[in-house]
Amino acid sequence: MKGHIIIDSGLCKECHLCIEACKKGLITPSHEFNSRGYRPVCFNQERGECTGCALCAIVCPDIAIEVYRE
Ligand code: SF4
Ligand code: SF4
């Protein structure tokens, strides 16, 4: 199964739980700050294939990740 995610950078609080959850290593820290002073994480599809497993979205306490499956 293939998928992709969309991260709402305005909601992200930089807890990095999603980075730990994604065993594919597709989510990484960023250096840009959002309007609330956090540095929202990035989705890096080019690092591998997202399976749409939704583990990243499930662990996100701020509901900042949407998962789409093909
Ligand atoms: S849906 Fe799964 S594979 Fe895709 S970014 Fe989230 S944890 Fe990683
Ligand atoms: S789990 Fe949610 S709030 Fe935490 S870093 Fe990931 S997207 Fe941001």
pLDDT at 46: 87
List the domain boundaries for the chain. 3-69
| Distance from Cα 2 to the centre of ligand 2, integer Å | 21
Query: What would the mean pLDDT of 25-44 be, rounded to a whole number?
Result: 96
Q: Could you confirm whether domain 3-69 is CATH 3.30.70.3270?
A: yes
Tell me: pLDDT of 40 over 90.
yes
Query: What would the mean pLDDT of 6-27 be, rounded to a whole number?
Result: 98
| Distance from Cα 37 to the centre of ligand 2, integer Å | 14
C-alpha–C-alpha distance, residues 35 and 5, integer Å: 21
Q: Which of 27, 21, 29 is nearest to 55 (CA)?
A: 21
Percent of the chain with pLDDT over 70: 100
pLDDT at 25: 96
